[in-house]
Amino acid sequence: MKQEKKATLRNYGICVGIEVLIAFLVIWSKGFFAHSLAVNIQILSDAFFVAGILMTMFAGMMYISGEGALIGIGFVIRNVFLAFIPMGRTRHEVYADYRARKLKNAKKSSNRYPLVTGLIFLFIGTVFTIIWHMAFYNV
């Protein structure tokens, strides 16, 4: 049980570290310390939103890939590659066999780490947007 908890904390730490790096790069690219408070809150909102949305989209791609939706793309790329190899077409298999083999070898995992951390960063970005809207947006 202790090893499982360590692995879970490590995976969450890796995801948070990646998102913090993305947020820092956004903050650094916009020149955080050279602006007023209102603009700095907008920059923080952008940074957390970008990091959160990228990690959430990555989690979606992991889910789609795990369900087998990208197997067809792999089949096409493999056949194109085999077409340029001498005698490569002798190893050709039909799509149904290829898909069955790939789905049999695929391991199902429920990695929710990118989704959870991405949604948390997305929520923090939304909070900064609401703070900016309440304090600085004058219509």
Q: 53-101: per-residue pLDDT in tens?
A: 999 999 999 888 888 788 888 888 888 888 788 776 666 788 888 888 8
CA distance 73 to 58: 18
Does residue 74 contact residue 68 with C-beta atoms inside 8 Å? Answer: no
84 within domain boundaries:
no
Q: Is residue 16 part of a domain?
A: yes
Write down the pLDDT at residue 93. 81
Quote the number of domains for the chain.
1
Residue-range definition of the domain harbouring residue 59? 2-68+106-136
Cβ 131 vs Cβ 43: under 8 Å = no
The residue with tokens 């992991």 is 62
Is 86 domain-assigned? no
Residue 97 lies in a domain: no
Q: Which of 118, 12, 8, 9 is nearest to 59 (CA)?
A: 118
pLDDT of residue 14: 95
CB 58, CB 114: distance < 8 Å? yes
Q: Model-level pTM?
A: 0.80
